[in-house]
Amino acid sequence: MTLKKTLLADLARQYAANGQPDRMPGIMGVILGTLSPRFAPVVIFRLSHWFYQHKLSPLAKLFSLLNFVVFGLEIAIRCDIGKGLYLPHTQGTVIGVNSIGENATIYHNVTFGAREIDVNFSEQSRPTVGDNVIVGSGAKILGGVMIGNGARVGANAVVLADVPAGATVGGIPAKILKQGEVT
């Protein structure tokens, strides 16, 4: 998927989250959307990741640093994140995943990362997150765990084991509170 198509899908998700699901984003919407504190960090991450993919690491790191300084959001430049990313609030969020699927919603103060120091960014020590996942404020998802499609992670949960598709988890350590169907 091209950068333009990914950004348009991200903007469409912003509109849907704000109660305007039928609104079709255009280029002007993307430009104006970059002023939103919910969409600008997504745009900056997409640019950072695009530069990383095109072997322009200094620019990728510069955009990543901009996201950290302005929005308090740290996303590793190599993270593969599907379209439709929605970040209602960004402060204190750290995203160091193997991958995140489409239409993820990630609230503030969430941490995705390794359980121990992982300077080389080993994929086996990083979480993998499915499509349509919601992660509540303050949640910590650590290690090489898999979060299934349609899963919900409660606020302040600490996830140290795989979460099945459609499950809602909460607590420290996180336990399944409800097993729903994947839509």
Domains for the chain: give ranges and CATH numbers. Answer: 3-179 (2.160.10.10)
Assign residue 84 a region: left if phi > 0, alpha if psi is -120 to 50, beta otherwise?
left
For range 110-129, the mean pLDDT: 83
- At 7 the pLDDT is 83
Residue 50 CA, distance from chain mean position: 16
What single-letter amino acid sits at 28? Answer: M
- Report the alpha-carbon distance of residue 166 to residue 179 in Å, rounded: 6
Give the residue from 89, 6, 83 showing the smallest Cα distance to 41. 89
Q: Which residue would you say has higher pLDDT here, 126 or 4?
A: 126
What single-letter amino acid sits at 25? Answer: P
Q: Which residue would you say has higher pLDDT here, 91 or 30?
A: 91
- At 21 the pLDDT is 67
For range 80-100, the mean pLDDT: 92
For range 74-83, the mean pLDDT: 93
Residue 26 has pLDDT above 70, yes or no: no
Please report, rounded to a whole number, the percentage of residues in the chain having pLDDT higher than 90. Answer: 66
Give the residue from 127, 151, 155, 131 showing the smallest Cα distance to 141. 127
- Give the pLDDT confidence of 172-183 residue by residue, as tens digits: 999 999 998 776
- Report the alpha-carbon distance of residue 142 to residue 173 in Å, rounded: 11
For range 70-79, the mean pLDDT: 93
Q: Which residue would you say has higher pLDDT here, 156 or 4?
A: 156
Average pLDDT, the chain: 89
Please report, rounded to a whole number, the percentage of residues in the chain having pLDDT higher than 70. Answer: 92
Give the residue from 29, 5, 1 showing the smallest Cα distance to 15. 29
CB-based contacts of 152, cutoff 8 Å, min separation 6 = 133, 134, 136, 167, 168, 169
Q: Which residue would you say has higher pLDDT here, 165 or 1?
A: 165
For range 68-83, the mean pLDDT: 93
